[in-house]
């Protein structure tokens, strides 16, 4: 890796070490850290945006998870004409009642949750209508997860749903919330890999993404993992990005 670029990353400022950084392919830098403090990850995303201004051909892909916390975006998905989504808006004035830290952030979407048993993908990517549009990027992020999970005998997953997300019939497996500045994306997808009973209990009085908490599920609840781990899933997932986003 270019030593000057490594210096520009300012890793210690964000709780990162050189071991957290690798090259996914010749133009994509991978930052990987599980159970990464949300504040540090969010600050790093903002820093990555400035790096892409200086290195427009660079892509920075973050693969991580966070300690238990909640984030709230700019607002819930808006219904199309004649559509009723029956979503319940979260009142940020009630944030002090939440059992885990709360962050008001700039992505799209409403209240969502994070915990160490998720795989989160934050693509810091310059959009281009010819090579990687926003819709194709979102579809890719869901499709790569579907491909890996199909190989693990978890079938009938889809992101062709009136509500944005990755779904197993009427159960939601992954959420998506994107922000864009100067045609560069940040924030991204959170996929529930392991079940988290403490978070699930906290969600019983909330409406993540405007939905009843019972709608949410995890890979662990949908299929027998047979000893497979989050680390293994993330490696297989990243391998698909490595070859597709050159």
Catalytic residues: 209
Nearest to 34 by CA among 198, 181, 214, 233: 233
Distance, first Cα to last Cα, the chain: 17
Two structure tokens written together for 74: 């700019």
How far apart CA 174 and CA 105 sit, in angstroms, is 19
132-137 long-range contacts, Cβ below 8 Å, gap at least 24? 132/245, 134/178, 134/180, 134/185, 137/185
How far apart CA 19 and CA 35 sit, in angstroms, is 15
Decide: 148 and 155 in contact? Cβ < 8 Å: no
DSSP assignment, residue 215? Answer: G
CB-neighbour burial class of residue 13 (10 A; exposed 0-12, middle 13-18, buried 19+): exposed
Q: Strand 102-104 and strand 109-114: pairing?
A: unpaired
Q: Beta partners for 112?
A: 71
How far apart CA 60 and CA 52 sit, in angstroms, is 8
At residue 28, the 3 state secondary structure works out as strand
How far apart CA 163 and CA 194 sit, in angstroms, is 22
Alpha carbons within 13 angstroms on the beta-carbon side of residue 45 total 27
């Amino acid at each position: 890796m270019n030593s000057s670029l490594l210096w520009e990353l300012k890793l210690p400022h964000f709780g990162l070490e050189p071991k957290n950084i690798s090259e996914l392919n010749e133009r994509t830098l991978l930052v990987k850290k599980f159970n990464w403090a949300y504040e540090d990850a969010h600050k790093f995303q903002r820093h990555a945006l400035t790096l892409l201004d200086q290195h427009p051909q660079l892509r920075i892909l973050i693969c991580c998870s966070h300690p238990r916390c909640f984030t709230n975006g700019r607002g819930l998905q808006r219904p199309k004409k004649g559509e009723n989504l029956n979503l319940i808006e979260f009142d940020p004035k009630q944030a002090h009642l939440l059992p885990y830290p709360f962050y008001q952030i700039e992505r799209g979407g409403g209240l969502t949750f994070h915990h160490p048993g998720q795989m989160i993908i934050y693509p810091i990517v310059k959009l281009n209508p010819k090579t990687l549009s926003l819709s194709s990027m979102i579809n890719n992020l869901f499709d790569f997860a579907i491909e890996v999970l199909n190989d693990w005998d978890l079938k009938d997953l889809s992101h062709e749903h009136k509500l944005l997300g990755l779904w197993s019939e009427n159960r939601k497996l992954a959420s998506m919330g994107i922000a864009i500045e100067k045609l560069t994306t940040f924030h991204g997808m959170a996929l529930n890999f392991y079940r988290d009973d403490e978070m699930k209990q906290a969600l019983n009085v909330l409406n993540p993404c405007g939905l009843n908490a019972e709608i949410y599920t995890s890979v662990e609840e949908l299929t027998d993992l047979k000893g497979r781990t989050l680390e293994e899933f993330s490696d297989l997932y990243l391998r698909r990005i490595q070859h597709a986003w050159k």
